[in-house]
């Protein structure tokens, strides 16, 4: 198997990627914690490519990276690429978002989408594959469910009549922004492996 570095120090993110890419010919490993990349891009795709490229060059290894976040229509796409930096904790981020949407009681005014960009870089840092996944939904007026993380308790998907935090892992994986992006990238990774890397 060929090693594929996941450009994160988060073991949870590694497990999530492994679940999506379990049938691939790649062996996933975390990047070293001390290797940090500043997310200076102005889009999710730019940040994913930046992280994948810089880690690949530093380690001379194939690398996969993602960047994702929540875009709320009524807030002109905020928090967007600043989703993780919107406040200091998941609870504070949710509280801030709900406060900012307090003047929008109608679900039609609370439309939003989760976006995930994934990029795979060759050892020389050039991008070999990239994809973006989007999941449309709306922001609830209060949290629901106990699973998931981040904004999952307030992101509601009308087609499933569930918040992300109420979904089973399999259901969430099948419709989520990350699931969509990784499904596309996994096919590209399979092609790269079959081409002999």
User: DSSP assignment of 130-144, as one string?
Assistant: EEEEEEEEEE-SS--
Could you give the residue numbers annotated as active site? 67
What 8-state DSSP symbol labels residue 152? G
Sign of CA dihedral 172, 46, 89, 139: negative
- Specify the residue for token string 């699973």: 147
CA dihedral defined by 125, 131, 135, 136, rounded to 10 degrees? 100
Peptide bond into 79 cis (omega under 30): yes
Element at 66 (helix H, strand E): strand 63-72
Is 12 strand, coil or helix? helix
What count of other Cβ atoms lies within 10 Å of the Cβ of residue 90? 17
């Amino acid at each position: 198997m060929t090693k594929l570095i996941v450009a994160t120090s988060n073991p949870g993110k590694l497990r999530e990627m492994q679940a999506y890419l379990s049938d691939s010919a790649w062996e996933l490993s975390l990047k070293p914690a001390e290797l940090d990349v500043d997310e200076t891009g102005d889009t999710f795709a730019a940040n994913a490519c930046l992280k994948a490229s810089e880690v690949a060059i530093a380690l001379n290894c194939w690398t996969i990276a993602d960047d994702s976040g929540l875009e709320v229509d009524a807030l002109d796409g905020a928090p967007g690429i600043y989703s993780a930096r919107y406040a200091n904790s998941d609870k504070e981020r949710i509280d801030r978002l709900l406060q900012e949407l307090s003047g929008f009681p109608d679900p039609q005014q609370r439309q939003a989408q989760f976006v995930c960009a994934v990029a795979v870089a060759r050892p020389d840092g050039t991008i070999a594959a990239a994809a973006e996944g989007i999941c449309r939904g709306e922001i609830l007026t209060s949290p629901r469910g106990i699973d998931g993380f981040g904004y999952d308790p307030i992101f509601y998907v009308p087609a499933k009549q569930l918040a992300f935090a109420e979904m089973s892992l399999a259901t969430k994986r099948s419709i989520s922004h990350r699931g969509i992006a990784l499904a596309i990238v996994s096919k590209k990774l399979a092609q790269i492996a079959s081409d002999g890397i």
